[in-house]
Structure 1
Amino acid sequence: MPSITYIETNGTSHNIELPLGATIMEGAIQNDVKGIVAECGGSCMCATCHIYVDEKFLDKLPTMEEEEQEMLEGATAEVKSNSRLSCQVRMSNELDGIMVRVPEEQ
């Protein structure tokens, strides 16, 4: 299984193996990563699963759909070039070793 490292705002890190096809949001919720709220349950209807993706993995992510971009525009935390909604990114072998940071607020 591919692995992911979540970095919480206080610096706590969680190195977790996720099954192929699981979303980064699902992994965060199932492993009690603080700061991933996921109010809409992963249906891309809010921005409370906002993450910052390690720059070296950006070109391995699926293209951001318009719906995700619109939701990010309403994010509470600063939206950066490496911002994504964790509900819209599914684990793949290409993402093995990815690191994501949780923003200060959701």
Structure 2
Amino acid sequence: MTTSSTPRTGSRPGDATRFQRLAQAAAASGMTLLATQWAGGKAVYPVICRNGHRFARHGSRLLKGNTTCQQCQADEIRQHFFAVLKQKGFRCSDNAFRGLTARHTFT
């Protein structure tokens, strides 16, 4: 995915409103929009999540609220994995979470 926040040639009526909606949608998802102008719904906009991870999403996805930070999601899964192990009295032998489909050894 390429990061492109370059605005279209010429500003169209309503672009400021569209950009404002985009920024509000990003903020509602806990994101900070780094772009400064509307570039279209298919354009890719750079954002920062509440934990400081940088990534990019299509404008249409941001507007639909279909936005999650994959790094934060992976961190939550990892924390849940170790919390369940601790609750059950187990420990991961290599003390590392390698993903949901990887085989892990427990003690």
Question: TM-score by structure 2 length?
Answer: 0.24
| Bigger CA radius of gyration | 2
Higher relative contact order (CA closer than 8 Å, sequence separation 6+): 1
Question: TM-score by structure 1 length?
Answer: 0.24
The structure whose residues are more often helix, as a share, is 2
